[in-house]
Homo-oligomer: A and B are copies of this chain.
Amino acid sequence: MTTIRDIASSAGVSIGTVSNYLNDPELVAPETRKKIQEKIKEYNYHPKAAARSLKSRQTQRIGLVRIISPEDYRSTDPGDNAFLELLAGLNTMAAENGYDLLISAAKNNEEELKTYARLIGSGQVDGLIVMGIQRKDERLPFLMEKNIPFVAYGRSETEANYPFVDVNGAEGITKAIKYLSDLGHTKIAYITPPEGLMCTQQRWDGYLQGIEECNLPFHSDYVVEGAFSQRSGQISSHLLLDLPEPPTAILTASDICAFGAMRAIQSRGLEVGKDISVVGFDDISLADMFHPSLTTISQPFRKIGFELMQSLISVISGDNPMPQSILNPDLVVRRSTGRVLS
């Protein structure tokens, strides 16, 4: 195994010079640079990450903890498709900046915190990406207190200031309502994400704003608390369709939830996009494949991944200690929505 000493002696320089070359080639005279370069190639030398980070206290690694429930082996639903896309974004941007991603599993929130403590304590990562932010999220104060660089995907209600990237869920919902209203819909139902999540609050604001801007009446029967799952979409839709005056359009918490809604509608012999319009949220790649294809509010997951990683790197480097960005979602119109039947 070649070390910096081998390179140094074979190139006829000191290890300090090789180290300089490694960290900033400009510091080394052109001829020396060339010699070292050649030897590194010849020996196929890679500086050992452990030695490097022991001294420099940098790891070039970004941590990400994923909660995986051990009970059901099929828990990862297609909504995680979004996670994968986000991961692709994180990975790409990380690679571009010379970072790798360290992914650790935790069984639950408690274990998650312990994993953060371990990752930080053992100095395995330079920073963390924190996902699935809750309205009150204990991870935020925990990480701020430890003073470790992190960026959260999502805002929370914490009064404290922290770096985040978020999607403007409110605007997404408002856009969808305007679009439906333009198609003539007035009875627009809304299956919300579960209480407690920050995005639920945001989207709710968007819902209220949407119906206000479109001068639609507020109908508490048309709002059902649901979840991201297909099952939730199905159950909630049945509830809505059982109303004396059922809605003509349903906004859902996620694309998966929308698929459930579509199934409920179809099971009653109604046609999606004609009798009832359905709008999803996320724009996972299946939205386009479903039959009928799904009109949905598109979250740019890959871009979110980019943004998260870029922000984190700027926090680590100190360039920008408090990056906060909010991305706007787009409404992607497909076949699951249509003009209201007169």
Contact = CB atoms under 8 A, between A and B. Distances in A.
A275 interface: no
| Chain A interface size range | 35 or more
Interface core residue of A78, A120, A256 (most chain B CB under 10 Å):
A78
A108 to B, nearest CB: 12
Nearest to A88: B68
B102 A94 contact: no
Given A100-B124, A104-B101, A117 B81 contact: no
Nearest to A105: B91
Contacts of A92: 68, 70, 105
A270 to B, nearest CB: 14
A78 B76 contact: no
A101 B66 CA distance: 11
Contact of A103 (B50, B77, B81, B91): B91
A49 B46 CA distance: 19
B105 A94 contact: yes
How many copies of this chain does the complex contain?
Answer: 2
A112 to B, nearest CB: 11
Given A102-B100, A103-B91, A105-B95, A77 B285 contact: yes
A84 B83 contact: yes
A48 interface: yes
Given A49-B122, A51-B54, 5 more contacts: A50-B53, A50-B54, A91-B105, A103-B103, A260-B289
Minimum-distance CB pairs A-B, first 8: A46-B121, A91-B105, A50-B54, A50-B53, A95-B105, A46-B122, A49-B122, A73-B302
A292 B120 CA distance: 48
Interface core residue of A48, A102, A284, A289 (most chain B CB under 10 Å):
A289
7 contacts: A44-B117, A44-B121, A49-B124, A66-B91, A78-B81, A78-B285, A262-B291
Contacts of A100: 102-104, 119, 124
B117 A46 contact: yes
Given A92-B68, A104-B95, A123 B286 contact: no
Contact of A74 (B75, B83, B85): B85
A263 interface: yes
Contact of A50 (B59, B76, B101, B118): B59
A179 to B, nearest CB: 22
Nearest to A283: B74
A119 to B, nearest CB: 8
A79 to B, nearest CB: 9
